[in-house]
A and B are shown apart, each in its own frame.
With several copies, the nearest count.
Chain A
Amino acid sequence: MIKKILVANRGEIAIRVMRSCREMGIQSVAVFSEADRTSMHVRYADEAYYIGPAPSNESYLVIDNIIDAAKKSAVDAIHPGYGFLSENAEFADCCEKEGILFIGPSAYAMNTMGDKITARRKMQSAGVSVVPGTTDPITDINEAVKTIHEIGLPVMIKASAGGGGKGMRLVTKEEDIVSSVSSAKSEAAASFGNDAVYIEKYINSPHHIEFQILADKHGNCVHLFERECSVQRRHQKVVEETPSPIMTAEVREEMGKQAVAAAKAVNYAGAGTIEFIVDDELNYYFLEMNTRLQVEHPITERVVSVDLVKEQIKIADGEVLQLKQDELRQNGHAIEVRIYAEDPDNNFMPSPGIIKHITEPLGLGVRHDGYVYEGYEIPMFYDPMISKLIVWAPSREEAIERMKRALYAYKITGIKTSIPFLNRIMEVPSFVKGRYNTHIIQDNEKYLKPKKVKSQKLKDVASIAAFVDYLSKLEKQKTSAPVTEQGSNWKECGRKKNLIRL
Chain B
Amino acid sequence: MSYEIKINGDQTSIEILNQDGNNIEVLIDDRKYNLDIVEVETGVYSILLDSKSYNVELIPNDNKNYTVNTLYNSFEIEVIDAESKYLNSRKKDDGDDASFISTPMPGKVVKILVKEGDEVKGGDTVIIVSAMKMESEYKVVNDKIIKKVLVSEGDTIKGNQPLILLE
Contact = CB atoms under 8 A, between A and B. Distances in A.
Nearest to A458: B70
B56 interface: yes
Interface stretch (A190-198, A265-273, A280-288, A467-475): A467-475
Contacts of B134: 350, 384
B155 interface: no
Grouping DSSP codes into helix (H, G, I), strand (E, B) and loop, the B interface class, with mixed when no group exceeds half, is strand
B74 to A, nearest CB: 7
Contacts of A413: 43-44, 57-59, 69
A464 B47 contact: yes
B149 to A, nearest CB: 21
A462 B68 contact: yes
B136 A349 contact: yes
A380 B7 contact: no
Interface string A411-445: 10110100010010000000000000000000000
Contacts of B105: 349-353, 380
Nearest to B130: A380
A461 B58 CA distance: 12
B18 to A, nearest CB: 9
A173 interface: no
Contact of B5 (A72, A463, A494, A501): A463
Interface in A363-396: 373-376, 380-384
Interface stretch (A39-47, A113-121, A250-258, A295-303): A39-47
A463 B46 contact: no
B42 A357 contact: yes
B28 interface: yes
Interface residues of A, number: 71
A38 interface: yes
Contacts of B63: 470, 473
Interface string B16-30: 100111101010100
B75 A462 contact: yes
Contacts of A459: 7-8, 75
B52 interface: yes
Interface string B96-108: 0000000011111
Given A37-B22, A350-B134, A464-B14, A493 B74 contact: no
Nearest to B59: A413
A68 B41 CA distance: 30
A450 interface: yes
A371 B106 CA distance: 20
B59 A489 contact: no
Interface string A126-162: 0000000000000000000000000000000000000
Given A356-B43, A376-B40, A461-B70, 8 more contacts: A42-B53, A43-B40, A342-B132, A356-B42, A459-B75, A466-B58, A466-B79, A493-B38
Interface of B: 3, 5, 7-8, 12, 14, 16, 19-22, 24, 26, 28, 31, 33, 35-49, 51-60, 63-64, 66-75, 77, 79, 104-108, 130-134, 136, 159
Interface of A: 30, 37-38, 42-49, 72-73, 341-343, 345-346, 349-353, 356-357, 373-376, 380-384, 408, 411, 413-414, 416, 420, 423, 450-451, 453, 456-473, 487-490, 493-494, 497, 501-502
